[in-house]
Amino acid sequence: MDSTAAKAIEGNDVTDGHAAGTHGHHHGPLGKMMVGAIGIVFGDIGTSPIYAFRETFAGHHRLVPDSLHIFGVLSLIFWSMMIIVTLKYVLIIMRADNKGEGGSLALLALINRSTGNDKRKWTTGIVLLGVFATSLFYGDSMITPAISVLSAVEGLTTVNTAFEPWVIPLAVVIIIGLFGIQSRGTAKVGAMFGPIMLVYFVTLAVLGLIHIAKYPAVIVAMLNPWNAIAFYIDDPIPAFIAMGSVVLAVTGAEALYADMGHFGRKPIKFSWLFFVLPALLLNYMGQGAMILAQTPADALEMVKNPFFLLAPEALRLPLVILATMATIIASQAVISGAFSVTQQAIQLGFIPRLHITHTSEHAAGQIYIPVINWALLTMVLLLVLNFQTSSNLAAAYGIAVTGAMFIDTLLIAVVLYNMWNWNKILATALLAIFLTVDLLYFGANLLKVPVGGWFPLLIGFIAFTMLTTWARGRALMIARMNEQSLPIEVFIKSASSSATRVPGTAVFMTSSVTGVPHALLHNLKHNKVLHERILLLTVKIEDVPYVSAGKRSESKEYGNGFYRIVLRYGFMEEIDVPAALAGMEGVGSACKMMDTSFFLARQTLIASSRPGMAIWRERLFSWMLRNAESAMEFFKLPTNRVVELGSQVEI
């Protein structure tokens, strides 16, 4: 993909809906928003204690659960949470919001808008990095539900080993049920998420405190960075390998940034600093304290599932049920995130139009995308059935997360140096710390590639190929069509005097704001008529989440009943062309749908040897174009008022 792909997300600086009150995701009392954030945002990182500590000691690369290694791992967990989650994401990256929205694509759009007039050589590279981070998210969104639900259900074996044969079937049933309810929306279920997660995090903290009281030395051990350094000095190779499992404690950190648009920065920051972070740290310390209080033989046995063994035997089954509910909530957040990211990618021109259902009349962010839902379900089930245990899945988990975290650091470097103009010494020092930690974690996770880490990388490369192919192919197709474009002024002079004019309004959808749409030329050629009023309509997606009503549309009159209209939408908005036209001024009389016909051009692509893309990518783009949702449904055009005219385009 060359620099033309970068244009897919370039746009004008348009005021977002905050000013006009159209975006109400994070309006409300701080306490209520914090509870909501706890229920949605922290599900992934909150369920990490179920398997993160266990995998470090009982996973594929096992450590001896002695004081050196436990103190070292606890210190690594603490400082990773402070550097990666607290400092990098909560205190720095979350400040880089795009009109209140977060996530890799939102950050990418922000960077492109802020440097839009500065044609730097690295613009295309930044676009590619942002798209690849988004691609890795899809691999992560498949593994998270699989490992979370499976690890929680495996807790049944700590209650009674007779439950072991039921772990896989029960996990499959839960996962199918979870994906099965997506089409109904999550508003009612979501109202329960906050209280359940509140109980869950309080339980984490209480269980941890019970065991810390028996072995309080773990508190100082976790806070002391020397224990992590001593771990590396004494056992460098196992310490490096262990980081591949320690990183599981911070998976979900990127969700804090991605979900910022739903709750706002302050509720997420306060929830993390004063509630979620302390609860997680207490639980990890409790697991370490419990193991250290055992004999070496008992420690080796208990480290196989320390999270559930924190609870007394009588309370273990309730803990399994609570943990399972928490993992379902964590999975729900990832699924919703996949829908949201896909919607952003569609609007920004990286994914073909897909059918999107809005499941709430009040919350714009609650959407359902059937093809994404069923694709995720299929892949999650394949992961569960193929890997069988959460330990095996842990071998595949982490590489996508650490890759995305590394890319986020590179993107935020552009923000620090070129947008915020931070002191270069301070910015360089911070970035050096972030890059060092990211590279250590990413390097450790590369060791997982042969034993499962290849899966999220494969999914990421497939998604990256499709996203960049669509962006590049779309740019090529528009360029080829513009090559044959006729100036609108010339067309009006020649056609207005020779063609028969008929009553009504004709709306010709076009991706270009210059020239004559192909559909208009074909209609005149075949039907030999022009409507009394002709609207040449272009829908532009801006690189802000929401566009205010005052800047929604602009129009230009050419005379003889010809008008050019540009409708602007943010990348988080639902597009409704008839509604926008009904309220437009400056285009003559009001647009009445019963007197309006919409003309769409349906292109058939012909792969050729012309410079642009490899033949296989041209064929892939052609297949994606054929399977995209029709413009009629995407733009909410009335079905009985649409005329499609076909044409062939060689790319």
**Cβ neighbours for 62, distance < 8 A, ≥ 6 positions apart:** none
Q: Which pair of structure tokens corresponds to residue 63?
A: 């450590």
Domains of the chain with CATH codes:
30-472 (1.20.1740.10), 486-650 (no CATH)
Q: Say yes or no to pLDDT of 128 above 50.
A: yes
Determine the average pLDDT of the residues in 79-93: 92
pLDDT category of residue 115 using cuts at 50, 70 and 90: low
**Cβ neighbours for 36, distance < 8 A, ≥ 6 positions apart:** 193, 194, 262, 263, 267
The SS3 of residue 423 is: coil
CA distance 201 to 115: 42
Determine contact, residues 600/632, Cβ cutoff 8 Å.
Answer: yes
Determine the average pLDDT of the residues in 464-480: 85
Which one is predicted more confidently, 188 or 13?
A: 188
Instruction: Tell how strand 367-368 and strand 357-358 pair up.
Output: antiparallel
Place of tokens 């995209």: 628
pLDDT at 559: 83
Determine the average pLDDT of the residues in 3-16: 35
Q: Following DSSP, what letter does each residue of 188-229 receive, concatenated? A: HHHHHHHHHHHHHHHHHHHHHHHHHTT-THHHHHHH-HHHHH
CA distance 11 to 109: 9
Question: 347-359, pLDDT tens digit by residue?
Answer: 778 888 888 877 6
The SS3 of residue 106 is: helix
CA distance 552 to 379: 39
User: What percent of the chain lies above the pLDDT cut of 70?
Assistant: 87
What Rg, from alpha-carbon coordinates, does the chain have?
27
Determine contact, residues 52/305, Cβ cutoff 8 Å.
Answer: no
List the single range of 82-96, 160-174, 426-440, 631-645 with lowest mean pLDDT. Answer: 631-645
| Torsion on CA atoms 188, 190, 195, 197, rounded to nearest 10 | 150
The 8-class DSSP code of residue 83 comes to I
The SS3 of residue 538 is: strand
Determine contact, residues 114/123, Cβ cutoff 8 Å.
Answer: no
Residue 536: beta bridge partners?
508, 564
Which one is predicted more confidently, 109 or 143?
A: 143
Nearest to 369 by CA among 342, 350, 345: 342
Instruction: Tell how strand 500-509 and strand 553-559 pair up.
Output: unpaired
Q: Which pair of structure tokens corresponds to residue 605?
A: 């692509």
Question: 538-592, pLDDT tens digit by residue?
Answer: 888 887 778 888 888 888 888 888 888 899 888 778 788 888 888 787 787 888 8
Question: 269-308, pLDDT tens digit by residue?
Answer: 898 999 999 999 999 999 999 999 888 888 888 888 899 9
Highest mean pLDDT among 3-12, 405-414, 491-500: 405-414
Q: Which pair of structure tokens corresponds to residue 128?
A: 């590619």
Long-range contacts of 239-242 (CB under 8 A, 24+ apart): 239/72, 240/440, 240/443, 240/444, 241/61, 241/444, 241/447, 242/56, 242/61, 242/63, 242/69, 242/72, 242/73, 242/76, 242/444
Phi-psi region of 528 (alpha: psi -120 to 50; beta: other; left: phi over 0): left
Q: Say yes or no to pLDDT of 19 above 70.
A: no
Determine the average pLDDT of the residues in 255-259: 77
Which one is predicted more confidently, 187 or 612?
A: 612
Question: 129-156, pLDDT tens digit by residue?
Answer: 888 888 888 888 888 888 888 988 888 8
pLDDT category of residue 609 using cuts at 50, 70 and 90: low
Q: Say yes or no to pLDDT of 382 above 60.
A: yes
Summary mean pLDDT of the chain: 81
Determine contact, residues 546/22, Cβ cutoff 8 Å.
Answer: yes
Residue 200 CB neighbours (<10 A): 23
pLDDT category of residue 18 using cuts at 50, 70 and 90: very low
pLDDT category of residue 651 using cuts at 50, 70 and 90: low
CA distance 570 to 552: 10
**Cβ neighbours for 324, distance < 8 A, ≥ 6 positions apart:** 149, 152, 153, 155, 174
Half-sphere exposure in the Cβ direction for 429 (13 Å, CA): 6
Q: Say yes or no to pLDDT of 361 above 50.
A: yes
Report phi then psi at 558, rounded to 5: -100, -15
The 8-class DSSP code of residue 646 comes to E
Question: 515-543, pLDDT tens digit by residue?
Answer: 788 788 888 878 788 888 888 888 888 87
Determine contact, residues 645/600, Cβ cutoff 8 Å.
Answer: yes
Measured CA distances, 406 to 118, 409, 443, 460 (Å) = 25, 5, 11, 15
pLDDT category of residue 424 using cuts at 50, 70 and 90: confident
Question: 217-242, pLDDT tens digit by residue?
Answer: 999 999 999 998 988 888 888 888 88
pLDDT at 15: 30
CA distance 86 to 83: 6
CA distance 215 to 233: 25
Determine contact, residues 248/55, Cβ cutoff 8 Å.
Answer: yes
Determine contact, residues 49/319, Cβ cutoff 8 Å.
Answer: no
User: What percent of the chain lies above the pLDDT cut of 90?
Assistant: 18
